[in-house]
Amino acid sequence: MAPPKPSAKSSKTPASKNKSQKKSVTARSEAKPDQLPPPAIPLELQQLLLNVFRNAFPERLGPELKPLLQEVKQHLYNRDFLHAFGKDEYLEVYALRWSPSRALGYAQIFDDLSEYLVQELGSVAKDAPRRIVCLGGGAGAEIVGLAGYLKLLERKNVLKQVASSDDTEKTVEGAPSTPHFDVVAIDIANWSSIVAGLQQAITTPPTLSKYASAAAKEANVELLQPDVLQTRFVQQDVLTMPLEDLSRELKDTTVVTLMFTLNELYSTSLAKTQSFLLRLTGSLQPGALLLVVDSPGSYSSVTLNGAEKKYPMHWLLDHTLLSTPQGAKPQDADAKWEKLLSDESKWFRLPEGLKYPIELENMRYQIHLYRRLP
């Protein structure tokens, strides 16, 4: 893919005051706490997702965190991505600082889209893993968000089974009772150690103190069993990725995500991004979903007949993917995609009570969901 989401992610970097040692995180909201609806993702599960990042890279949470974080911020501010993502310690600090908020937001998004996701995931053979490709997902937010969504599906299944007298074959909204996710993260920088560290933290019990009580040891379990979530990292620039490589990675894929990545691709090269989206279209099977999440109000400049004009990102995306004229039925035109959902501005707000050693932030985003047509 293009340089890893510099503007999208670094836009949340504090300008001056560093609060990296903050111990408790609360949502910044105009509404009073008692006016906010309860989070759809249980607070306890959101905390477990934050703990995944803490457990994956504990050595980075020491005294060296603050200077390393400042170095990464400076490189991002200078748009020097070669250095910002050039060291393992920088990648770990980046994942600790910017990915946790996104992971919670993504888990919420996946749950919000269950109506569409479960239908597509349920179309796969019962014992086959559900293949999900995260373009630009090297920093791990998508992986942890999917882990949270998968855990939520498991819990819903358990509750439904408990309430049922014949629970052996029960499912939630058509989903398999034990779905398995095969997640592939494709990114331009070498995030392989980050993906491996998060996979380890998700699928193994956290390390406890030798003084932990017997009850704590008994309750200490992994977030997900290793066979439920498998992850793999591929280092590639999707704008120059050979078609055969892209087609191989997208084979049998049920969901593709572009989270805070597409506008960076457009900013890098409009023509190459349009070409990539067309290659993506040709490589996906009918029924596959494309989920695009990005900063609201994202615009890209296009030069036509010598005049430069800015177009909204979602307009450029629709222009490339949706070939069906306004009002026409898909079967009456050469349509490749149908648009299932679109919202130009939404908020994910952190609930009260989460604890994390680095400041977290609410997430404002635009979202667009497409389904590949036959």
The whole-chain average pLDDT of the chain stands at: 83
What local confidence, expressed as pLDDT, does residue 297 receive?
Answer: 85
| Exposure string over 37-74, b if 16+ CB within 10 A, otherwise e | eebebeeebbebbbbbbbbbbeebbeeebeebbebbbe
**Residue 62 forms part of a structural domain:** yes
Residue 272, in any domain of the structure: yes
What burial class does residue 342 get, using C-beta atoms within 10 Å of its C-beta: 0-12 exposed, 13-18 middle, 19+ buried? middle
Per-residue pLDDT at 139: 97
Q: Is residue 7 part of a domain?
A: no
The candidate with the shortest Cα–Cα distance to 144, out of 259, 10, 288, 25, is 259
Nearest to 259 by CA among 186, 339, 181: 186
DSSP 201-237: HHHSPPPPPTT--HHHHHH---SS-TTTEEEEEEE--
Q: Which residues of the chain have pLDDT under 70?
A: 1-39, 122-123, 125-126, 158-178, 301-306, 323-333
Closest CA to 195 of 179, 209, 184: 184
152-162 burial by CB neighbour count: b if 16+ within 10 A, else e? bbbebbeeebe
For 131-182, write each residue's pLDDT tens digit.
999 999 999 999 999 999 999 998 887 666 555 544 444 444 444 455 789 9
Write out the DSSP string of 76-106: HHTT-HHHHTSSHHHHHHHHHHHHHHHHHHH
26 domain residue, yes or no? no
Task: Give the CA angle between residues 130, 133, 138 to the nearest 5°.
Answer: 130
pLDDT at site 233:
98
Mapped onto helix, strand or coil, the DSSP state of residue 298 is coil
Q: At 134, is the secondary structure helix, strand, or coil?
A: strand
Predicted confidence at residue 158, as pLDDT, reads 65
Residue 174, domain member (yes or no)? no
Asked whether the beta carbons of 235 and 192 are under 8 A apart, the reply is yes
Residue 185 within a domain: yes
Q: Token match 């937001």: residue?
A: 105
Write out the two tokens for 255.
């969901």
Q: What is the CA radius of gyration of the chain?
A: 21
Q: Which residues contact 214 (CB under 8 A, 6 or more apart)?
A: none
CATH code where residue 227 lies: 3.40.50.150
310 — phi, psi (to 5°)? -95, 135
pLDDT the model gives residue 162: 53
**Amino acid identity at 38:** P
| Count of the separate structural domains present in the chain | 1
Q: What is the pLDDT of residue 281?
A: 96
* Boundaries of domain holding 155: 43-163+179-207+221-372
Q: Note the pLDDT of residue 20.
A: 37
For residue 330, the 8-state DSSP code is G
Which three-class secondary structure state does DSSP give residue 184? Answer: strand
Interhelix angle 243-250/270-283, rounded to 10 degrees, is: 50
Residues 356 and 24: their CA atoms lie apart, in Å, by 6
Residue 350 covered by a domain: yes
Phi, psi of 192 (to 5 degrees): -60, -40
Q: Does 353 map to a domain?
A: yes
Kind and range of the H or E run holding 173: none
pTM for the model stands at 0.83
* Contact assessment for residue 229 and residue 180, using Cβ atoms and an 8 Å cutoff: yes
